[in-house]
């Protein structure tokens, strides 16, 4: 539609690109602008990712303004937009209660009705520091000192004043649909040894229907929380005696083993050779690989025999030492070394979360040593492997991103250009859509990242393919060329599942615990109605187990309804009931997960069905 500007205020010049936003609020377009020269104007609507970012950034300021109104002694830290909403961190004497959060939401709605403008103020750095010191906002003083230029951008909404580059919506009245969700513990700048904070999570939308749908998805996400499923199905434990480390229970360990066996089968078809490297390596190895300089704070160290050792956070140096242990020829390349390595990384206690943020994990890793002219073919094969693995679990929406050379990098310009062209040509050959993330490659080489969407449309960064120009020179790796010379190999790091723990969490939440038959902990639960039916149930179980199926028998002296509910919670693919009729007719009353009613099958027919579902890797029974 048309946009009318106020007379006398021609939009001749605005703040630097990104500091101006137009937000469509249903009937009108409001403009926030600043008359400065030599800049661009971008019109943002809620349909734009940038528009929603601005909208939620402004919503975070609104949240902080409401908190300061209700809790004047609160000191505020940072409040960024995040996927699905935003948060703001506060230093308070007591944690926020649910009642506090409800009051904050009510106050936010009151401020919305007042249509308070977001006003930008440009201050000298020293003046900004003085203002925040007078207000007692010591977090902002620290941020201005660290990040502020000679002239500092700040925004005011009512009495709330914040150090912020912007941009923002014109006034609070634009923010019509909002919800304060929860609060949690946090730390200033994420440092668990630093100042404890309270983080308030909230969300906002330009459309109330969109927010209602989002809140419904959040409720569904709670139902699908892998920590809840893991507890209900007795898959794993996370205990305070070992923070950030997983105790795999028998049912969960079985799933992990089948997952790894499936990966091994795929890798053997592709001529990978599996290795296992030590968990602990001398500190000199980590100095050589660069981890000591760039990753020291995320590592665990031990001392023994007057030597210092690092517990491996990654498998790369171990693979390099395996490569270096023998003379390699061009005939040996590509050499594909896979490893399901057990790694340890320090994560602050405040960010540990179930299986998704841990300190100990199994990395589905491989290192491919090849010539530069072999990179394209190897990447094509790896993209095919990613699609095969994720398609097997029903992940069909995969976004592919190529990250190119950053400002700080190793390797020659020529090798980077050749590598980037090889990645792009490989993706073009695969026929998949992809986007470029310019300048976001690793310092040692360009990479391809794969983002998958789960059943709730949440995006997860999973598989990655990374080229490495630093490992070969760091560990003095060579291969003998056809003409008798020596050249360094290109190293391709690749992780398909990534962390097995994180992938397990993703799989549980994607399926809501209803794992495919071929990987499920128990494929069929036999439920005898009375004690006199237990012998028949045991006989059926033995027959099915003899064919390699995972069968359990619930012979507890509990009511039938209770047993069935227990099996439903465990999301067992098949519940098999045996009573007088079934024993007499040598049949089984079978209930299939996700379907109503039951059907009568023979033991042989059930075995055939289980076999077919397992062979075909079917997603549903």
How far is Cα of residue 118 from the mean position of the Cα atoms in its chain? 34
Task: Annotate 538-570 with DSSP letters as a single string.
Answer: HHHHHHHHHTT--EEE---SS-HHHHHHHHHHT
Is 316 designated active site?
Answer: yes
Three-state SS across 274-335?
ECCCCCEEEHHHHHHHCHHHHCHHHCEEEEECCEEEEECCCCHHHHHHHHHCCCCEHHHCCE
Tokens of 266: 């795929």
**Does residue 402 contact residue 448 with C-beta atoms inside 8 Å?**
yes
Q: Tell me the three state secondary structure of residue 269.
A: helix
Is 53 designated active site?
Answer: no
Is 462 designated active site?
Answer: no
C-alpha–C-alpha distance, residues 521 and 516, integer Å:
10
Is 447 designated active site?
Answer: yes
**Which member of 154, 164, 316, 370 is catalytic?**
316
**What length does the chain have?**
621
**Does residue 187 contact residue 196 with C-beta atoms inside 8 Å?**
yes
**Pick from 490, 484, 519: nearest CA to 373:** 490
C-alpha–C-alpha distance, residues 60 and 63, integer Å:
5
Cα torsion angle, 451, 411, 293, 438, sign:
negative
Is 367 designated active site?
Answer: yes
**What is the residue whose two structure tokens read 């076999």?**
611
Task: List the beta bridge partners of residue 480.
Answer: 329, 486
**What is the residue whose two structure tokens read 């990098």?**
409
**Which member of 198, 233, 363, 471 is catalytic?**
363
Is 102 designated active site?
Answer: no
C-alpha–C-alpha distance, residues 621 and 618, integer Å:
7
**Pick from 322, 611, 251: nearest CA to 491:** 322
Q: Are strands 118-124 and 398-403 parallel, antiparallel or unpaired?
A: unpaired
Helix 500-511 vs helix 250-269: angle between axes, to the nearest 10 degrees?
A: 110
**Which member of 69, 100, 162, 365 is catalytic?**
365
User: Where in the sequence numbering do the catalytic residues fall?
Assistant: 316, 345, 363, 365, 367, 447, 493
């Amino acid at each position: 539609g048309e946009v009318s500007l106020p007379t006398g205020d021609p939009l001749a010049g605005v703040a630097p690109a990104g500091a101006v936003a137009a937000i469509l609020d249903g009937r009108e377009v409001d403009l926030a602008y600043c008359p400065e020269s030599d800049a661009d104007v971008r019109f943002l609507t809620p349909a734009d990712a940038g528009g929603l970012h601005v909208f939620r950034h402004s919503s975070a300021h609104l949240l902080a303004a409401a908190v300061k109104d209700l809790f004047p002694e609160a000191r505020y830290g940072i409040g960024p937009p995040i996927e699905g909403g935003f948060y703001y961190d506060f230093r308070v004497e007591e944690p926020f209660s649910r009642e506090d959060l409800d009051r904050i939401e009510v106050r936010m709605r009151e401020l919305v009705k007042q249509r308070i403008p977001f006003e930008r103020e440009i201050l000298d750095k020293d003046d900004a520091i003085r203002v925040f010191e007078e207000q007692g906002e010591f977090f902002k003083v620290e941020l201005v000192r660290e990040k502020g230029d000679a002239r500092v951008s700040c925004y005011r909404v009512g009495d709330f004043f914040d150090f912020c580059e912007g941009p923002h919506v014109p006034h609070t009245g634009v923010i019509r649909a909002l919800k304060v969700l929860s609060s949690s513990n946090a730390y200033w700048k994420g440092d668990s040894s630093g100042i404890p904070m309270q983080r308030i999570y909230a969300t906002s939308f330009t459309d109330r229907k969109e927010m209602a749908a989002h809140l419904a998805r959040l409720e569904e996400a709670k139902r699908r929380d892998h920590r809840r499923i893991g507890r209900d199905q007795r898959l794993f434990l996370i205990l305070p005696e070992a923070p950030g480390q997983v105790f795999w229970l028998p049912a969960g360990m079985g799933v992990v083993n089948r997952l790894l066996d499936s990966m091994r089968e795929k890798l053997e078809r592709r001529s990978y050779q599996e290795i296992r490297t030590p968990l602990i390596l001398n500190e000199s190895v980590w100095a050589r690989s660069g981890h000591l300089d760039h990753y020291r704070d995320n590592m665990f160290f031990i001392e023994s025999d007057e030597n210092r050792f690092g517990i491996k956070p990654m498998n790369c140096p171990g693979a390099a030492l395996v490569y270096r242990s023998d003379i390699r020829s061009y005939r040996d390349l590509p050499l594909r070394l896979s490893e399901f390595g057990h790694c340890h990384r320090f994560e602050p206690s405040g960010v540990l979360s179930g299986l998704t943020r841990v300190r100990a994990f199994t990395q589905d890793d491989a290192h491919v040593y090849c010539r530069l002219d072999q990179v394209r073919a190897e990447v094509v094969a790896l993209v095919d492997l990613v699609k095969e693995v994720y398609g097997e679990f029903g992940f069909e929406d995969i976004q592919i991103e190529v990250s190119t050379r950053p400002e700080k990098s190793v390797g020659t310009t020529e090798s980077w250009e050749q590598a980037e062209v090889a990645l792009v040509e490989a993706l073009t050959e695969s026929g998949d859509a992809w986007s470029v993330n310019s300048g976001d490659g690793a310092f040692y080489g360009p990479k391809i990242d794969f983002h998958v969407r789960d059943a709730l449309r949440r995006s997860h960064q999973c598989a990655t393919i990374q080229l490495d120009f630093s490992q070969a020179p760091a560990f003095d790796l060579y291969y003998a060329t056809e003409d008798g010379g020596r050249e360094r190999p290109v190293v391709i790091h690749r992780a398909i599942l990534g962390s097995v723990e994180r992938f397990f969490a993703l799989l549980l939440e994607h399926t809501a615990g209803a794992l495919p038959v071929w990987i499920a902990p128990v494929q069929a639960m036999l439920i005898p109605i009375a004690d006199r039916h237990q012998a028949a149930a045991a006989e059926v179980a033995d027959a099915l187990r003899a064919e390699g199926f995972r069968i359990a028998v619930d012979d507890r002296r509990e009511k039938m309804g209770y047993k069935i509910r227990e099996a439903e919670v465990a999301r067992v693919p098949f519940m098999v009931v045996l009573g007088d009729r079934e024993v007499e007719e040598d049949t089984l009353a079978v209930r299939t997960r996700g379907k109503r009613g039951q059907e009568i099958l023979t033991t042989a027919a059930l075995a055939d069905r289980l076999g077919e579902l397992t062979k075909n890797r079917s997603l549903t029974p």
